[in-house]
């Protein structure tokens, strides 16, 4: 899994520009799925049909988003410096001095030139990208060009750090679950979604098309185990998180109980998650058509939406175990 996670995180794919990630994922899931298609919004849908259709067979949607946060050039001045708008939740405190890579291969450095204010965090509209140009004429990027953070994958003991761990680690968990799932009593749609970071758009359209009986998002959640973190329970190394609530949705209580029962039955460590901000593809699935019972399996992650997001390997492995356990057995929502 390590080598695949390295490939996934080092591939560039900001929201709306997920093509290269989709190619990589497609190559991995093609031999594992019964059916593969790409829909109009670019979502990659890998279907695993049930071994036998019974009255208990459910149509289940698993959603993990392929896109990452990024930047888009909005203006180039006469000296060749590029101003930009954000694609998704780009935080000014994380970007100064960082490097970005454009989809055309150009590298840029994010700069701020007010030395009298170097201890302040300037807003995004006060900083710029330096691509080595000397004028607007020789600038190698143009308005509308897209970039993402440029950081390599590194191992720090049992912890991994990379840009776009959100949500390539969720993509990895979905792929590895499909690999481990030799058979299932359910009709499972593994959906590798687009444009989550700009409004869970891909999950909304794909859920409408699939019309699932229930949905599970696989995404990251903010770990609260650093010195001045929000008072939340999620920690690295304590297992995957079963989402109960976040800033955009309340998980279906029946789905929460089902996930917790599966974790306890299979002796998989887990954490109860109440996230005080943000949301996931589960929100879009929950609101699709007439409504879908939805939940989320979250991988605790430090420094979310920074160029150096950190996860623990054991949490990734246990996330695969929990998702596979859920999909191998009858769905019990206590109905």
pLDDT single digits (tens) 198-228:
999 999 999 999 999 999 999 999 998 888 8
Q: Is it the case that residue 335 has pLDDT exceeding 70?
A: no
Q: Residue 303: its pLDDT value, please?
A: 94
Q: Is it the case that residue 117 has pLDDT exceeding 80?
A: no
Characterize 150-176 residue by residue with b for buried, 16 or more Cβ atoms within 10 angstroms of its Cβ, and e for exposed.
bbebeeeeebbbbbbbbbbbbbbbbbb
* Mean local confidence (pLDDT), 267-284: 95
Q: Residue 115: its pLDDT value, please?
A: 75
The partner residues of 217 in beta bridges, in order of sequence, read: 63, 296
In the set 196, 197, 309, 312, the catalytic residue is 196
With cut-offs at 50, 70 and 90, classify the pLDDT of residue 69.
very high
Q: Residue 113: its pLDDT value, please?
A: 82
Q: What is the pLDDT of residues 294-326, one digit of tens each?
A: 999 999 999 999 999 999 999 999 999 999 999
Percentage of the chain modeled with pLDDT above 70: 100
Q: Residue 189 CA to chain centroid, in angstroms?
A: 17
> CB 244: neighbour CB atoms within 10 A?
17
Q: What is the pLDDT of residues 136-165, one digit of tens each?
A: 999 999 999 999 999 999 999 999 999 999
Does residue 191 contact residue 203 with C-beta atoms inside 8 Å?
A: yes
Q: Which fold has domain 70-149?
A: Elongation Factor Tu (Ef-tu); domain 3 (2.40.30)
Query: What are the domain boundaries of the chain?
Result: 2-68+163-328, 70-149
Q: How many Cα atoms within 13 Å fall on the side-chain side of residue 291?
A: 5
Q: What is the pLDDT of residues 175-187, one digit of tens each?
A: 999 999 999 999 9
Q: Residue 121: its pLDDT value, please?
A: 86
> May I ask the CATH architecture of the domain 2-68+163-328?
3-Layer(aba) Sandwich (3.40)
Q: Residue 160: its pLDDT value, please?
A: 98
| Tokens encoding 256 | 């929460």
Question: Taking the model in full, what pTM does it have?
Answer: 0.94
Give yes or no: 78 in active site.
Answer: no
């Amino acid at each position: 899994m390590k080598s695949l996670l390295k490939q996934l995180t080092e591939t560039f794919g900001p929201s709306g520009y997920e093509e290269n990630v989709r190619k990589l994922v497609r190559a991995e899931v093609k031999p594992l799925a019964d059916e593969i298609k790409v829909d109009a919004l670019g979502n990659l849908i890998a279907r695993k049909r049930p071994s036998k259709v019974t009255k208990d067979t459910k149509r289940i949607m698993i959603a993990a988003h392929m896109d990452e946060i990024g930047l888009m050039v909005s203006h180039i001045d006469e000296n060749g410096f590029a101003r930009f708008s954000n694609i998704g939740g780009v935080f000014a405190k994380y970007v100064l001095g960082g490097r970005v890579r454009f989809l055309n291969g150009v590298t840029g450095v994010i700069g701020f030139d007010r030395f009298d204010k170097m201890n302040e965090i300037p807003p995004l509209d006060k900083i710029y990208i330096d691509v080595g140009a000397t004028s607007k004429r020789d600038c190698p990027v143009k308005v509308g060009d897209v970039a993402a953070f440029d950081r390599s994958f590194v191992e720090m003991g049992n912890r991994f750090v990379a840009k776009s761990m959100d949500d390539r680690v969720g993509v990895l968990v979905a792929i590895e679950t499909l690999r481990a799932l030799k058979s299932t009593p359910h009709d499972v749609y593994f959906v590798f979604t687009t444009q989550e970071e700009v409004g869970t758009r891909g999950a909304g359209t794909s859920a409408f098309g699939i019309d699932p009986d229930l949905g599970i998002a696989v995404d990251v959640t903010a770990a609260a185990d650093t010195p001045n973190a929000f008072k939340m329970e999620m920690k690295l190394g304590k297992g995957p998180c079963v989402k109960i609530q976040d800033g955009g949705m309340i998980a279906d209580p029946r789905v929460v109980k089902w996930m917790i029962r599966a974790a306890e039955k299979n002796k998989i460590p887990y954490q109860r998650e109440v996230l005080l901000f943000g949301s996931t593809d589960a929100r879009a699935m929950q609101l699709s058509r007439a409504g879908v019972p939805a939940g989320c399996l979250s991988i605790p992650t430090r420094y979310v939406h920074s160029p150096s997001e950190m996860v623990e390997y054991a949490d990734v492995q246990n996330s695969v175990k929990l998702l596979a356990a859920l999909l191998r057995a009858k769905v019990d929502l206590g109905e």
